[in-house]
Amino acid sequence: MENGPAIFAGTVFLLFGAALLAWTGARTLHRAPVAEGVRPVVAVPLALLAGGTSLALGVWCLARF
């Protein structure tokens, strides 16, 4: 019974992390701002950290069931 929420949460974390990393990479390649009003030196590493953390949480959730 507990596996359903773990699978759902893991899937959501993985999808969000992958989408955030892909979006950040695409914006960086096109030299477009990653976050409005934030310097790229700050925005890119924070977005990459958030995407990587989300992927790690997704793997952790799926590994627990």
The tens digit of pLDDT for each residue in 6-51 reads 999 999 999 999 999 999 999 999 999 999 999 999 999 999 999 9
Check residue 1 and give its pLDDT. 59
CB contact at 8 A, 9 and 65: no
Q: What is the DSSP letter of 31?
A: T
Q: Say which residues have a Cβ less than 8 Å from residue 63's Cβ, sequence separation at least 6.
A: none
Check residue 14 and give its pLDDT. 98
Q: Which two tokens stand for residue 60?
A: 């952790």
Check residue 58 and give its pLDDT. 97
Within 13 Å, how many C-alpha atoms sit on residue 26's CB side?
Answer: 6
Q: Residue 64 — pLDDT band, cuts 50, 70, 90?
A: confident
Check residue 60 and give its pLDDT. 95
Question: What is the value of pTM for the model shown?
Answer: 0.88
Positive or negative: CA dihedral 57, 63, 64, 65: positive
